[in-house]
Structure formats: C-alpha cells, structure tokens
Amino acid sequence: MFKKFIITSLCLGVVSCGVVKKKTTYGSKRTVTVAASELPGEIDSDSISDIKSDEKVIESEISLNRSEEIINTALTFTGVKYKYGGTTRKGMDCSGLLYVSFLEHDIYLPRVSYYMANEGKKIKLDEVSKGDLLFFTTSKRRKRINHVGLVVAVDGEDIRFIHSTTSRGVIVSSLKEGYWNYAFVKATRVL
C-alpha cells in the first residue's frame, strides 16, 4: 500500500512540474503596429513591358500545358473504331473524339465539326501549334466542313493531327498526306 502511495505521489509530482499557469490579460486593449514599407520608385515603360511579357509567357505556358493534357487525353483513344455520332471507347467519330477530349478538361465545344469550326480564332497554317484544330471537307460536293482533327505535333512543315476516320478509326495522320492536304479548309485556335 505504501509503495502505491509513493508511486502515485511521484507520478503526480512529475505531471504537475510541466504545467505552467498562463497569465491572461482580459480587458487590456492590445494594439499591433506595422511599419510601412518603402514605396518603390516610379515604374517606367520598360518595367511595364517586362511585366506584360512575363504575363504572356506564363499565359502561353498554361495554354501549352492544357494543350498537352488534351492531346494526351485524345491519344488514349487511339485505335478506337469509327462510329458515326459515337463518343465512347466502343466507337466515335471525329468531332466526338475532340468533344470528349476537350470536355474531359472542362472545355465545351459544339458536338458537330461544322459548328466546331466557328469556335476560336482562325489562324494561318504556318502559325499552327499543338492543340489547334484543323478542319476539312471530305465530301464530293466540298461545300461544307465535315471533318476535324487535333494537332498533336508540329515539326517544321509536317503537321500531325489525331482524328477518327471511317476506315481506320482514331489515328494520327500528317497534313502532308495528299488526301488531307487537299481536303484541308482552315485551322482555328480555341485555347
């Protein structure tokens, strides 16, 4: 019994040694002061142009990263068979491929290539970069856009794009190929 008393007393002594009562100051008003920082000198036009150029670089890097993500999503569908109006791995058409790939990254495009061609800014072929859209007319009447592809690589004059063809499904082709070069109508940038 005596041993239990001593052990209990020692434990309480050890525990109470670490406790410090905190002094509280209720009712006393606390104020915090902050010293003002020095104001920078006047901003000249060179500084403003540097800031704007930095913003453009950041904006283009964000756009490029987003393009890469969309391209990678589209490439996951490589080999999926063609299905008119399709938007799944069981089958998809050209505009379905782009519709799903962009939608995966919260970018909404019209579902049909003809209406998709009205989105974004029209660009010249020599300005095309990854993530841009290429539009084609493959019908014999050649009056209306009916095919679309997503640019996945640009190497000099060789522009490679992913799309879904009726004969081979989702594939990557080159704009240098005679058929696609002949059917090409315009390029647009949506990102």
Domain boundaries, the chain: 55-189
Q: Is 94 a catalytic residue?
A: yes
Tell me the pLDDT tens digit for each residue of 16-39: 444 444 454 555 555 555 555 455
Q: Is 105 a catalytic residue?
A: no
Taking the domain 55-189, which CATH number applies? 3.90.1720.10
> pTM of the full predicted structure?
0.68
Tell me the pLDDT tens digit for each residue of 158-180: 999 999 999 999 999 999 998 99
Residues 6+ apart with CB under 8 A from 133: 98, 116, 117, 120, 148, 149, 150, 151, 187, 188, 189, 190
| Between residues 90 and 4, the one the model is more confident about | 90
* Average per-residue pLDDT for the chain: 80
Mean pLDDT of 135-143: 85
| Residue 166 phi, psi dihedral angles, 5° rounding | -65, -30
Among 11, 17, 94, 105, which one carries the catalytic annotation? 94
